[in-house]
Structure 1
Amino acid sequence: MRILLVEDDRLLGDGLRAGLIQAGYVVDWVQDGAAAELALNTHRFSAVVLDWNLPRADGLTVLRRVRQRGDATPVLMLTARDSIEDRVTGLDGGADDYLVKPVAMAELAARLRALIRRSSGVSEAVFRFGDLALDPARRQVSVGERSVELSVREFDVLALLIGQPERPLGREQIEEALYGWGEEVESNAIEVHIHHLRKKLGNDWIKTLRGVGYLLNPEKR
């Protein structure tokens, strides 16, 4: 899942980025409010980790502008502001969650998983589609009683498909969700991941809609 990290402290930002990548996220990092707005205007993210005190536009201003234009991307505010009034202001300004620095990476990763899960309309911690189960926290997949070993990218493609099971996803949509800025993407990378998923899950689990994209087979539900 692709995360936008907005943090102007270079040392903290570098640590957060490394920790989120280790937790399985693709992370794009910007260091001011104007860059955050530009990124959100031009790219889709599964969630945003947003600092409050930022140059060129503070986090609350960015958040309000994002919500005013109808962007419902889950936003977790991560800030040193720890008063009740600040928490209320942040949440009422459109934040979906609020964490006070310093933060434990395990908690940040768990809260992001919860935000992304809820934005997909899933209440359980594990995504299920028929006999297929995907656990984002443990990064485990099973079909019935059979455990399925997937690569990082294969897992992420499957997580996208199971998170939006009724909507086909095109190659460009999947690429945008899986690859951060500056990453090299082979022209057939998504097709290769889908091919490997079919071999590991079973050929009939993923359907191709020509000219549209991929989705989980509704008959397997």
Structure 2
Amino acid sequence: MPKVLIVEDDPAMAALLERGLTDEGYEVTRVDNGVEALIQATTGEFSAAAIDVMLPEMNGFEICRHLRNQGNLLPVLLLTARDSVDDRVFGLDSGADDYLTKPFAFVELSARIRALVRRDSATPKQLMRIGHLSLDVPAVRASIDGKSLPLSTKEFSLLRVLAARAGETVTRTEILEEVWGTTRHIDPTIVDQYVRYLRKKLQPFESGITIGTVRGTGYTLSDDTAE
């Protein structure tokens, strides 16, 4: 039975989410503040978490940042009434996998949770190697010839997706689904922005790992040192 963490300080909303997800077969743990949420997320084994942004003691953005800084890959759905583009981008850049604005229909939240649980169960648990590049997926660490390649969580996720399909074209839509968890309310050009970040960080290493642009479609990662 998948375990889901609910972090919501509104008792009525928390009860609604707990009841609905329990009825759908999840084992639900419910807390109402950011500190307790971080404790549960770091000590428990959850398949996904639905976390309200506005919480006492520690907000949802801070929880996400702490988790990702610890290398914790718990899939996180942020819930908030703040629906500006800047807020959504800030939430995703904090390490959230998805973002849902209030008010929302429970069926949509349920669908988002199912998607996160599926992604969690399919997350690769091994060390990936492409030429001189190594990706330690569980630890969210990248290195080239043993030298650390410092990446944000989103940059690492993007590199992992491209590396997993090295030599293939990965579309912007596929990248948004894999890295950001959704194509809704997200400007697809954010993919181009993060590809630029990756290229800039890869350049000093002269590793032979390149990210090529497939015009109008997406990107492809290649190892130029491979024969």
TM-score range, shorter chain: 0.5 to 0.7
Q: Which residue of 2 aligns with 1:110?
A: 111
- The residue identity in structure 2 corresponding to 1:22 is D
Q: Distance in 1 between the 2:119 and 2:11 partners?
A: 30
Q: Distance in 2 between the 1:95 and 1:9 partners?
A: 21
> Number of matched residues?
122
Q: Tell me the TM-score normalised to structure 2 length.
A: 0.52
Q: In the TM superposition, what is the alpha-carbon distance from 1:120 to its structure 2 partner? A: 2.2
Aligned 8 A contact 1:20 1:105 in 2 = no
- The residue identity in structure 2 corresponding to 1:93 is S
Q: Which residue of 2 aligns with 1:21?
A: 22
Q: Which residue of 2 aligns with 1:9?
A: 10
Q: In the TM superposition, what is the alpha-carbon distance from 1:22 to its structure 2 partner? A: 1.3
Q: Distance in 2 between the 1:9 and 1:100 partners?
A: 15
* Corresponding position: 1:60 with 2:30: no
Percent of aligned positions that are identical:
48
Superposition map of 1:181-196 within 5 A: none
Q: In the TM superposition, what is the alpha-carbon distance from 1:15 to its structure 2 partner? A: 0.9
Q: Which residue of 2 aligns with 1:119?
A: 120
What stretches of structure 1 move > 6 A for 4+ residues in a row?
Answer: none
Q: Distance in 1 between the 2:79 and 2:4 partners?
A: 14
Q: Distance in 2 between the 1:13 and 1:3 partners?
A: 13
SS at match of 1:27: strand
Q: In the TM superposition, what is the alpha-carbon distance from 1:42 to its structure 2 partner? A: 1.4
Q: Which residue of 1 aligns with 2:223?
A: none
Q: Distance in 2 between the 1:102 and 1:33 partners?
A: 21
SS at match of 2:28: strand
Q: Tell me the TM-score normalised to structure 1 length.
A: 0.54
After superposition, give the CA deviation of every residue in 1:157-191 in whole Å (9 maximum; x if it has no partner). xxxxxxxxxxxxxxxxxxxxxxxxxxxxxxxxxxx
Q: Distance in 1 between the 2:76 and 2:55 partners?
A: 15
Q: Which residue of 2 aligns with 1:31?
A: 32
SS at match of 1:70: coil
Q: In the TM superposition, what is the alpha-carbon distance from 1:33 to its structure 2 partner? A: 0.2
Aligned 8 A contact 2:34 2:56 in 1 = yes
After superposition, give the CA deviation of every residue in 1:69-98 in whole Å (9 maximum; x if it has no partner). 000010000111111110000011101000
Aligned 8 A contact 1:6 1:31 in 2 = yes
Q: In the TM superposition, what is the alpha-carbon distance from 1:119 to its structure 2 partner? A: 2.1
- The residue identity in structure 1 corresponding to 2:46 is F
Q: Distance in 1 between the 2:94 and 2:28 partners?
A: 24
Q: Which residue of 2 aligns with 1:43?
A: 44
- The residue identity in structure 2 corresponding to 1:75 is V
Q: Give the structure, 1 or 2, with the largest relative contact order (CA under 8 Å, sep 6 or more).
A: 1
